[in-house]
A and B are shown apart, each in its own frame.
Chain A
């Protein structure tokens, strides 16, 4: 069992494993999206206060949740790479950043479009929205810092430090709706209490969250493949693979 675990540190093994997993992930993602969208758009009720705009929740909440989740993955894998000097961990960390930034952007955009018909404004500077904007800046800063170094190893390590320093933002985002009673609503799904949401809505929401997760894994593996090819370009297996596959 432990050999399997240590293989995770080998770029070559991860590349081949990704190749095997990707077709499955792609199909699962597609199916989950189709189911989730149908449930959300057609088979779930309106909200008694917000009307049909509540349907934006089915893309806003997963995007926001994933944005925070991906940041934590990025920070932890960066930390693992930094402490134990495992380059595969850095590859994962760097590959997370663009997806995470996209999710953050989508959460902000959909939130803004949801806010206009329901709250009457596209933006409000309350704690959750502001700290989510900070999350976007952290992602962009991570990518900018990584690009600024010529030596890739230094870039990896510096970016990992930045990701770890910024991780304090995640609890701030999560708890901000409890600490400040302002415009953004509190959490409706909690581990310990029964959710206060209509079951049809809950089904759609959970399906979409899982769909977004699978999307993240799919896109992450694709990005990791490209990153591995670039970083391992001097190794024998990459040379063989590239010359063989393009010769066919």
Chain B
């Protein structure tokens, strides 16, 4: 261990601000993107579900139109 106390650890010989700010930005942004990209697939599944429902309802209505036309004849 190169530090004698937690106080020294946080102080980092006077440069604590720069060091901890750097680590905070790096770890924070990387954690954020990790979570963001993980959620992307889930969100994509939701979007696709809606897309499939719309596609299904469209084919259903067009089928209904077809059958009703057939019945008229």
Enumerate chain A residues within 8 angstroms of B1, measured Cβ to Cβ: 42-43
A225 touches B18 (CB 8 A): no
Query: Nearest residue in B to A238 (C-beta to C-beta)?
Result: B48
Enumerate chain A residues within 8 angstroms of B14, measured Cβ to Cβ: 51
Enumerate chain A residues within 8 angstroms of B47, measured Cβ to Cβ: 230
- Measuring CB to CB, which residues of chain B are less than 8 angstroms from any residue of chain A? 1-3, 9, 12-16, 18-19, 21-23, 25-26, 29-30, 33-34, 37-38, 40-41, 43-49, 51-52
Binds B, one of A5-13, A56-64, A85-93, A126-134: A56-64
Q: Decide yes or no whether A3 CB sits under 8 A from chain B.
A: no
B26 touches A110 (CB 8 A): yes
A229 touches B44 (CB 8 A): yes
CB distance from B46 to the nearest CB of A (A): 8
Query: Nearest residue in A to B46 (C-beta to C-beta)?
Result: A246
B52 touches A117 (CB 8 A): no
- 228-248 of chain A: CB within 8 A of chain B: 229-230, 233, 238-239, 242-243, 245-246
Given contacts A109-B25, A116-B18, contact A52 B12 (CB under 8 A): yes
Instruction: Pick the residue among B2, B13, B19, B21 that contacts A43 (CB under 8 A).
Output: B2
Enumerate chain B residues within 8 angstroms of A102, measured Cβ to Cβ: 29-30, 33
Query: Nearest residue in A to B30 (C-beta to C-beta)?
Result: A215
For the complex, count residues of A whose C-beta is within 8 A of B. Answer: 41
Enumerate chain A residues within 8 angstroms of B37, measured Cβ to Cβ: 219, 222-223, 226
B18 touches A226 (CB 8 A): no
Given contacts A46-B13, A51-B13, A242-B49, contact A229 B29 (CB under 8 A): no
A44 touches B2 (CB 8 A): yes
CB distance from A39 to the nearest CB of B (A): 11
A56 touches B48 (CB 8 A): no
The answer for the CA separation of A242 and B53 in the assembled complex, in Å, is 12
- 93-132 of chain A: CB within 8 A of chain B: 98-99, 102, 105-106, 109-110, 113-114, 116-117
B29 touches A55 (CB 8 A): no
Apart from A222-B40, A246-B46, what are 15 other A-B pairs with CB-CB below 8 Å?
A42-B2, A42-B3, A42-B9, A43-B1, A43-B2, A51-B15, A53-B18, A102-B33, A113-B22, A215-B30, A238-B48, A242-B45, A242-B48, A242-B49, A246-B45
Q: Decide yes or no whether A218 CB sits under 8 A from chain B.
A: yes
Query: Nearest residue in A to B47 (C-beta to C-beta)?
Result: A230
Enumerate chain A residues within 8 angstroms of B25, measured Cβ to Cβ: 106, 109-110, 113
CB distance from B57 to the nearest CB of A (A): 15
Q: Decide yes or no whether A45 CB sits under 8 A from chain B.
A: yes
Please list 12 pairs of residues, one from A and one from B, whose beta carbons are closer than 8 Å in the complex, sorted by A's number: A42-B3, A42-B9, A53-B15, A105-B29, A106-B29, A110-B26, A113-B18, A229-B44, A230-B47, A233-B48, A239-B52, A242-B49
The answer for the CA separation of A230 and B47 in the assembled complex, in Å, is 9
Query: Nearest residue in A to B34 (C-beta to C-beta)?
Result: A219
Query: Nearest residue in B to A55 (C-beta to C-beta)?
Result: B19
